[in-house]
């Protein structure tokens, strides 16, 4: 297994208080977050609905941190430009959400955002092997997407390790993110397997002290 020091922490606002989203974004930024993770759900690709580009745009003035926008929508292509214009820095699409991921990722880069690809738990790491030259971020879902507060799937740890090896072999600077059930117990497992971005909703927003919650996700060796 590979160990990656100093993982980035990206709070998922899905677990925030939606009646005060702007304040919630600013609060985690102040508490030491590195990115803000925004989950976009369409009620079709995943069985839940969250928000669209207007909310991303409304939140943009509340922090200068990068916005990591995870599109759980199918199709994604018609909406890429709207999310880029709304202020998304990273735009991530699912490999399972359409046949032309390569084209979509190139489009995201042309829009001026960093392209990312997301894998559901059932998808093998090799599914993204032909995309290594066009992605800046690979996101391994450690739960089935659609809801926060689910249990971390330890079955995904070997996938993280294999993707870390694929990234090393590519020679490219690709971030390897994990999302779903990340807390103080599972974060070190994901980092040991090779993850360098930890996305967490409940483990941060359900905590009274956001700074302490973010610090608790950082492995001791990364302090
Ligand atoms: O994309 C998703 C869920 O589909 C995640 O970003 C969750 O929002 C993470 O929530 P926790 O598992 O950390 O509560």
Residue boundaries of the structural domains of the chain: 8-222
180 marked among binding-site residues: yes
Residue 206 CA, closest ligand 1 atom number: 14
Superfamily of domain 8-222 in CATH is: Aldolase class I (3.20.20.70)
130 contact partners, CB below 8 Å, separation of at least 6: 102
Residue 148 marked in a binding site = yes
Within its chain, how far is the Cα of 38 from the centroid? 8
Instruction: Using the predicted structure, report yes or no on whether residue 168 has a pLDDT greater than 60.
Output: yes
Q: Tell me, what's the pLDDT at 222?
A: 46
Q: At what angle do helices 21-30 and 210-217 cross, to 10 degrees?
A: 60
Say whether 183 is catalytic. Answer: no
183-212 pLDDT, tens digit per residue, is 999 999 999 999 999 999 999 999 999 999
Which protein residue's CA is at the shortest distance from atom 8 of ligand 1? Answer: 148
Q: Is 133 a catalytic residue?
A: no
Region 89-98: mean pLDDT is 98
Cis peptide before 75, with omega less than 30 degrees from 0? yes
CA–centroid distance, 203 to ligand 1, in Å, is 10
- pLDDT, tens digit (0-9, with 9 covering 90-100), for 9-40: 999 999 999 999 999 999 999 999 999 999 99
Please tell me whether 43 is known to bind a ligand: no
User: Which ipTM did the prediction report?
Assistant: 0.98
Strand order across the 90-94 sheet? 8-11, 197-200, 175-179, 137-141, 114-119, 90-94, 67-72, 36-41
């Amino acid at each position: 297994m590979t160990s990656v020091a100093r993982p980035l922490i990206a709070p998922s606002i899905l677990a925030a208080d939606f009646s005060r989203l702007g304040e919630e974004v600013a609060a985690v930024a102040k508490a030491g977050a590195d990115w803000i993770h925004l989950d976009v759900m369409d009620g079709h690709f995943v069985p839940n609905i969250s928000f669209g580009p207007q909310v991303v745009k409304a939140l943009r003035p509340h922090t200068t941190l990068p916005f990591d926008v995870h599109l759980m929508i199918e199709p994604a292509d018609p909406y890429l430009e709207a999310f880029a214009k709304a202020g998304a820095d990273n735009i991530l699409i699912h490999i399972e959400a359409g046949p032309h991921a390569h084209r979509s990722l190139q489009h995201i880069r042309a829009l001026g955002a960093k392209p990312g690809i997301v894998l559901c738990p059932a998808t093998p790491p090799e599914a993204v092997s032909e995309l290594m030259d066009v992605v800046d971020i690979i996101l391994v879902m450690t739960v089935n997407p659609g809801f926060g507060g689910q249990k971390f799937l330890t079955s995904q740890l070997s996938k993280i390790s294999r993707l870390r090896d694929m990234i090393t072999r590519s020679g490219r600077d690709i971030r390897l993110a994990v999302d779903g059930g990340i807390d103080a117990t599972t974060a070190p497992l994901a980092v040991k397997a090779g993850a360098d971005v930890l996305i967490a909703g409940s483990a941060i927003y359900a905590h009274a002290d956001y700074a302490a919650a973010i610090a608790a996700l950082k492995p001791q060796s990364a302090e």
